[in-house]
Structure formats: C-alpha cells, structure tokens
Structure 1
Amino acid sequence: MQIATTKNMLTILESCQISPPPATIGNRSLPITFFDLIWLPHFPINQLFFYEFPHSRTRFIEKVVPNLKHSLSLTLQHFFPFASNLLVFPKPNDSSLARQPEIRYVEGDYVVLTFVECDHLDFDDLVGNHPRACDKFYPLVPSLGHVVRESDFMVIPLFAVQVTFYENRGFSIGITNHHVLCDASTKYDFLRAWTSIARHGTDELFLAKRSNLPVYDRLIKYPDSFDQMFIKESGVETLYSKYQLPELIGPSSKARSTFILTKAKINLIKSWVSRQVPTLQYVSSFSVACAYVWSCIAKSRAEVEGTKGEDELERFVCVANFRSRMDPPLPQTYFGNCVAPCVAITKSFLLSENNGFLVAVESLGEAISKTVKNKDELLKDDELWFEMLFKIPAKIPAKIGVAGTPKVKIYDIDFGWGKPKKYETISIDCNGSITVNACKESPNDLEIGLSLPDKQMNAFIAIFDRELQSFL
C-alpha cells in the first residue's frame, strides 16, 4: 500500500471505492417518503467511533484494512442505499406535481472508504470527556463529496467512511451520511450488520436471522399533500439550482465535552420532579436529562452574555420513533426515516431563572406527550406538520436539538477489536444539537455530548455540577 498524499495534516494511506459484490444488486431505486424528504436541507451527520489498537501500522494495514473493506462490501449487498445516490429532480415550471426524489443504485456505484494516518493528534485526548477543541475532530470525518448536476436531475452522494490510524494507540472510524438516507434506527441496523460480518468474515450469521434484513417497502401512509407541502415551501426551490453539501470547516472557537448522568442520579432528579410537579404526565430519564441540559445551556448563555433573553423564545426539538406507533405498526427494520418531531417552546429568561429546569422539564414533557398522543392526527394533518417544520423555525432563532437516542446501544458497535473507547457526533458543532446516548459502562446511564463556545462551556460545566448537587 502506497502513501499517496497528505491532507489536513493526515497521511492518506489508501482511498477505495467499495461496491457490493458484482451482480448482487443490479439497478435498483427506492422512493423516499415525506419523512425522508424533510431532512433534505439539513447538515450531514458526522460520527466518530474510537477503538484501541496498540499495534504498528504494518499490523493495521494487514489486519484492519482488508477486513473493513471486505465486510463493508458484503454489508452493502444487503443495505444497497448506503452505496447509492439521491436523485433530486427540478421543480416543474407549470402547475404539475414535482417528481419525488429517489435513492438510486446503478451497478458499480460505491462508497468512498479512505484510510489515513494521524501523527499530530493525541488519541488519549480525543477520547476524553474533558473540553477539547472542536476543530481537532473535523479532519477525522469524511465529506460526502460534490453534488453532480445532470440535465434532468441532481446527484447527491449519501454515505462515506474514513478510518484514521494512530500509531500504537488505536484507530477511529468516521462515518458521514445525509439524513435523507435514514434515521438512527436504520443506521444502527446497518452498523450491526457490518460489525457482525467484520467479526465473522461472512454474512452467514447475519442472514441466519431473517428479521435482521432491512424492509424496503414504502409502508408509511400519509396524504400526498405532505410531499407537495415541502416542495412548495419558500426557499426549497433554490435547492435545485444552488444546493451544495456543507462540510465541517475549521477553525472553530467551540469546545466539546461529555457529561455522564448515572441512573441513580437520574432517578433522584425524577423523584424531585414528581414531588414538584405531581400532575406532569410524562417524566422519563430522557426527558429529565434533556430538560436539565437545556436549562443549564440557557443559564450558561445568560451568564456569559450578561442577558437572560427577556421575551425571546427558544425551542428544544427531539424526535420520536414512529415505527411501532404506526397503524398497523411497521417492522423495526423498516429502512429510512420514520421519526416525528417533538417541539418544546418557552421563553429564554424563564429557562435562565432559578426554576429554569422545572420550566424545561414541563415544556419538554408536554411536547413529547402531545406528539405521541396525537400521532394519528399528525399523520393526517399537513397543516400541523407545516407549523412544526416551517413556521416555528422562522419565528424562533434559538434552537437546540437532540442527535442520537439512548435506545440504540451505540457502544455495542464492535468490529472485532473490542467495543469503542469513545463515541462522538461531530456534526452537533454545526446544528445546535446535543447528543444523548447510552453509556459504555452501563446502558442505563446517559452520556451527553455538548458543543459550546469556549467561555460558555466553562460556565456550563460549573452550572451543571453545582445544580446537580441540589437533587442529591
């Protein structure tokens, strides 16, 4: 294997085009639904898995590289959309309906898999929980590439992988995907298949349980008006002429840190909430953790900026998996996106007050409960979707979202060299999100990832630790 070039202070060892085994897929297309379409304008998702591998470059090249290449190829045979492109068709000039975008695989399509070596970043620093400069991580995740404009459509790449080796310490696997491709549930199915094939060298064990296979049938039923509602939304038409895939570009003044809320601490907080607001119908580990972080972010921002936002509104957005909530329920391996937003809105200064956590937990609990209870109306009412997706963002500039879900055991992603030492979602630097995942040590504990400007991060850490003591 030859060293080709150096980019972003990383030495590129090899750049591969990984396709499914020949003649296993053919030419296929997958229509996308409204649940996929709404993610078209969003920033790609960048994730990093760090693995300990205290060996030389020679062993990495001999053991890790061929294994990942072979196993990825076999996995793509069963998850062909990951090797596909998104085709987006221009909006017609007349009053006819716009053609729906689709995911299309043509024989020979591929995933770009790049192997690089890093000798200027400290592996042990990268896998820590302490504040670290965000732009250290940017070179470790791949970009999706460039949009290709054909005469009748745009071709948008959907998935890319970069493996970075750190001599005698370990390696990281960075994956980038367009959210149109799938949600966290589908991506976890893909990663479970890939890791199973990597560990065993074959897909036989994966295929032994037929329920592992993705379901490509478009089973979600909703009014046609949903699709046209999105396509006709102001500003969407520019996607067809100006759309480019954004990339993570440094330098950045932000720092990222990881915070752990153990099950014991979460239970104490839930008990405190139940005593303070006995009428609150929805209180979960997820909701209280998110509400606590939301209020701490608001307080840290107020402390640094010297203002509490007065009447300024802000929103907190998380999503609910609708697979089991559909009528009839969808298979858990339904491929694509099948989540609906839960939107909590309140005034910034209320979050910044002493009882800001209670304001946050009530607002978020009610939002989640409303979305879940009104699921039937949500799947029929395009005006409700329009209000949640378009009108609210236009009115409220301050937004926090949630990337990840504790229901996915992200630390089980083991390619054969042990579980991840650390997991990070790098794209939260760009979209104002936090991450909430199950911990490595115990899936009942929550691991929360945060990206904030340096000064605000310092304030957040102090507030997070100090206010946590009031529940103990």
Structure 2
Amino acid sequence: MKMAVTSPTDQMLTVLENCRISPPSATVGDKSLPLTFLDIIFLLHFPIHQLFFYDFPLSKPQFIETVLPILKHSLSITLQHFFPFASTLIVFPDGRKPEIRHVDGDSVEFTVAESHLDFEDLVGNHPRACDKFYPLVPPLGRVTKLSEFLSIPLFAVQVTYFKNLGFSIGITNHHVICDASTKFDFLKAWTSIARHGTDAIVLANGSFPCYDRLLKYPESLDEIFMKQPGVEALNDDYQVLDLVGPSSKVRATFFLTKERINLLKLLVSRKLPKLGYISSFSVACGYVWSCIAKSRVGFHERKGEDELERFVCLANFRNRMDPPLPETYFGNCVGPCVAVAQSMLLSGNEGFLVAVGSIGEAISKTVKKKHGILEDAELWFELMFRTPAKIPAKIGVAGTPKLKIYDVDFGWGKPRKYETVSIDRNGSISVNACKESPEDLEIGGG
C-alpha cells in the first residue's frame, strides 16, 4: 500500500476554513466564453501561482473579524464583473473547441489557513527554500468528469495568517483563462472594491473587461493548437498539474536600480549603436541571462562550444493586432519573443552585450513583422514550450515591469513582498517593478 508523503512545510500549516465564494445571486447567470487560439496554446500549461505578503501585526481574532469579511465580500462583487474566474473550463472528448462556462451558482474555492513558518524569512530577499512557499498557494482542485465533457477549475484563493505579523494571499489560476494583463485588471478591481466597499469607483472608471471576441485570425490556428501534443490526454484520468514538494531549490530576490539600468543602457547604446530595441526590461533580462550562463560554466553544465541557449519572453499584442484590441480585452493576447545565443559567447567577457543584443533583436523582429503580428503564429506553441535537442538550455520570464504588482493594496497597505511561485516549475525568472521605486526592477529566481 502506498502512503501519502507529507512535506515538513505542510505540517506548519493549519487549515481554518474551506468555503466557496460566488458572485452575488442572480448577477451572472449562465454564460459561456469561447477560447481563441491564443488561449488554446495554454491548454496544457501548468497553473500560475502568485503570492502576496502583507504586514498585519494584530491577533488572529482581529484578522478573522477584520480581514476575511472584506476579502470575501469584495471577491464576490468582483466575480460579478469578472465571471470567468468563477467559471470552469469545459473540454469535450470529441475534439470540439473548449470553452469557459459559467452556470448560476458557480464559485471559487477560498481557503483560510494559519502558518507557523517564519514570516520574516519568507518576505526576505536572501535565498529561501522554495518548498516553504508551496503550502501558501492553493491547488486548483479536482477535474470533474461529467457525461459529455471534462470540467476543469480555473481559479482558487488562499489567505494564510501568520501570528501577530501578517498574512499572505495566494492565488492560482489556469493560464487558459487569461494573461498577466487581464489578471492585473482583475486584481485592480478586487483591491478597489475591498478598499471602498463598493464597485462604484470601478464602474465609474469603465475598466471592466471586454468579452467580445474581436480578434480576427484564420480558423486553422484553432485546429492546429487543438492538435498540440498532449491534448489527447485530456480524458477521464486527467488532472491539472500543481506544485509538488519537497524541493532542494532555493529562491532569492535581486534588484537593479534605475541608475544601474541607465548605465547598462548607455553601455549598450555605445557598444551596439545599431540595435533597434533597448529598454529597461531588455537590459535587465540580458544581464540576468548572461549571469546564469556564466554560473552554468562554473557548475560545469556547458557541454560544448557550439551549444545554444534560448531566452523566451511574452509580449502583449493587444495594441499590435489589426485592428487593435481594447486594453481591457479579456483572455490571453500574448505571443513569444525568442532569443537564441551561443552558450560560449553568453558566458564570455562580452556575454551581457551578446544577451541584450539577442533579446533586443528578437523583440524587434516580433513586433515589426512585415505581414502582421500573427505571421508564423502556427509555430508559436513550439517556440514557447518545446526545447529542441540542439538548444537544451532555456530561460523564460514571468511578470512585466509595466504592471505595477506592488499596487495590489486591499486596504492594509502595499504588499510587503510579492513572489511568483510557479516559476519553480520551469526554471524561469520573474521581472517586476519594485515596491518603492517602480523604475527600479525586482528580479526573482531559483
């Protein structure tokens, strides 16, 4: 008989409440939202786990009486306007295109827990054990097999109290529901409603999502990505991949100040005068990529002088579509920028310039395509998720400095710390604007 393996960090968590949060009664009803090929690409992607830590030096009764009612009430109202987060992904066994479906009464799993882990350790920047964070983000839940389709959960929330110090809010979503831009819109609405007790300000701003499928593209792209490897495994036994533990990895946080970034930009413009794209994001990513390449040499991971490495980031295509889509378009609307460089050059003395040059050229090539942004879209799945044998090393990026993630304030101040926990799954890095100075960059990785 097999016995369940429990991570030591799981024993440091006590679940106080499991409940479900629905939109207010009779506000949404039965609705469905078709997927586009930009959503279908992420059909088999692992869930996205994000974690916000907040200072709250008060007792557990004060936490339960003050924080929880506000979070639950504001989430319910937010779900009224962002109904896909309270919906499920419907996958048909006959190969029909999946859809997001909401039935009156659908809800989000909401877990309340207490942790005995070291809060100050978790919110630090020093190396910390990755698996300490895993109990703080919720799983999506079980896939349900119904008579004609699979029903896959899309969103879950966990709020965890740390005695007299603070609390964390962990959110997990299936990537098929939306990209970072849409999720940030959801978080902005939720925090606004939490702070003000009503959706009046959000309504006045007119920033609720656009659900119209305005994207124009060949239907063949749907068919191509419905045949991506692994889709055939969406059957009776399918379950969503979640974080597992224990892990030997550690995560740490690093910072690049505006002053240091400007110096790097100056160096790039002087050494690479013909490079068409130079930004804070590209120089930061180039710097990190070259540092990782150098560290691989130190650990003897490089196998040959001709070995290539790949760097993948996603660009927001809303304003690059023809015609452009509203910034509030709900769903996924991102495409890949892929840079490739020789490992030996990346790890050399000019490694930073090699890296930032490759990234800049990749971004320029992606956003300035002669025949429109969807040119070669049929290759995007392979570019994003498949690692060719000849390019064994790959680094991806989660987050973007354009979204001010430290503005996620529910009424108790800005987050003390933010972590993208899901980057542990594929060795990506996170790049976000800093809390105090948005022009400084915060880089996380493990």
Shorter-chain TM-score bucket reads: over 0.9
Give the Cα–Cα distance (whole angstroms) in 2 for the partners of residues 31 and 165 of structure 1: 38
Structure 1 moving runs of 4+ over 6 Å: none
Check the 8 A contact 1:8/1:139 in 2, yes or no: no
Give the 5 Å matches for 1:50-449: 50-90=53-93, 92=94, 98-119=95-116, 121-210=117-206, 212-240=207-235, 242-305=237-300, 307=302, 309-374=304-369, 376-385=371-380, 388-389=383-384, 393=388, 396-449=391-444
Give the Cα–Cα distance (whole angstroms) in 2 for the partners of residues 243 and 350 of structure 1: 42
- Alpha carbons of 1:224 and 1:441: their partners in 2 closer, same or farther (altered >3 Å)? same
- How many correspondences in the alignment? 438
Which residue type is aligned with residue 303 of structure 1?
Answer: G
- Alpha carbons of 1:87 and 1:448: their partners in 2 closer, same or farther (altered >3 Å)? same
Q: Secondary structure at the match of 1:49?
A: strand
Q: Secondary structure at the match of 1:305?
A: coil
Check the 8 A contact 1:213/1:333 in 2, yes or no: yes
- Per the alignment, residue 30 of structure 1 pairs with 33
Give the Cα–Cα distance (whole angstroms) in 2 for the partners of residues 375 and 442 of structure 1: 37
Give the Cα–Cα distance (whole angstroms) in 2 for the partners of residues 20 and 180 of structure 1: 21
Which residue type is aligned with residue 268 of structure 2?
Answer: V
Q: Secondary structure at the match of 2:425?
A: helix
Check the 8 A contact 2:136/2:160 in 1, yes or no: yes
- Name the one with the larger helix percent: 1
CA positional deviation for 1:368: 0.4
Q: What's the TM-score once normalised by structure 1's chain length? A: 0.90
Check the 8 A contact 1:10/1:116 in 2, yes or no: yes
CA positional deviation for 1:350: 2.0
Check the 8 A contact 1:408/1:438 in 2, yes or no: yes
CA positional deviation for 1:233: 3.0
Check the 8 A contact 2:91/2:150 in 1, yes or no: yes
Check the 8 A contact 2:140/2:154 in 1, yes or no: yes
After superposing the two structures, state which structure 1 stretch, 417-426 or 379-388, moved more: 379-388
After superposing the two structures, state which structure 1 stretch, 353-362 or 138-147, moved more: 353-362
Q: Note the alpha carbon deviations across 1:331-389, whole angstroms, 9 max, x for none.
A: 11110011110011122222122211111111111100000001744425444436534
Q: Secondary structure at the match of 2:125?
A: coil
- Alpha carbons of 1:376 and 1:414: their partners in 2 closer, same or farther (altered >3 Å)? farther
After superposing the two structures, state which structure 1 stretch, 245-254 or 284-293, moved more: 245-254
Give the Cα–Cα distance (whole angstroms) in 2 for the partners of residues 199 and 386 of structure 1: 40
Q: Note the alpha carbon deviations across 1:308-342, whole angstroms, 9 max, x for none.
A: 64322221100110111112211111100111100
Q: Note the alpha carbon deviations across 1:8-66, whole angstroms, 9 max, x for none.
A: 43111111100000000000000011111101111111000000000000100100011
- Alpha carbons of 1:169 and 1:21: their partners in 2 closer, same or farther (altered >3 Å)? same
Check the 8 A contact 2:159/2:169 in 1, yes or no: yes
Check the 8 A contact 1:308/1:349 in 2, yes or no: no
Q: Note the alpha carbon deviations across 1:49-101, whole angstroms, 9 max, x for none.
A: 000000000100100011111110010000000000001112x4xxxxx3111
Gaps of 5+ in 2: 1-8
Check the 8 A contact 1:14/1:114 in 2, yes or no: yes
Give the Cα–Cα distance (whole angstroms) in 2 for the partners of residues 52 and 375 of structure 1: 50
Which residue type is aligned with residue 83 of structure 1?
Answer: A
Which residue type is aligned with residue 243 of structure 1?
Answer: Y
CA positional deviation for 1:397: 3.1
Q: Secondary structure at the match of 2:318?
A: coil
Give the Cα–Cα distance (whole angstroms) in 1 for the partners of residues 387 and 302 of structure 2: 23
Check the 8 A contact 1:325/1:375 in 2, yes or no: no
Give the Cα–Cα distance (whole angstroms) in 1 for the partners of residues 389 and 79 of structure 2: 39
Give the Cα–Cα distance (whole angstroms) in 2 for the partners of residues 381 and 306 of structure 1: 33
Which residue type is aligned with residue 109 of structure 1?
Answer: D
Give the Cα–Cα distance (whole angstroms) in 2 for the partners of residues 8 and 40 of structure 1: 33
CA positional deviation for 1:279: 1.1
- Alpha carbons of 1:402 and 1:390: their partners in 2 closer, same or farther (altered >3 Å)? closer
- Alpha carbons of 1:323 and 1:307: their partners in 2 closer, same or farther (altered >3 Å)? closer
Q: Secondary structure at the match of 1:317?
A: strand
Give the Cα–Cα distance (whole angstroms) in 1 for the partners of residues 227 and 302 of structure 2: 38
Check the 8 A contact 1:229/1:386 in 2, yes or no: no
Q: What's the TM-score once normalised by structure 2's chain length? A: 0.95
Gaps of 5+ in 1: 1-5, 93-97, 452-472
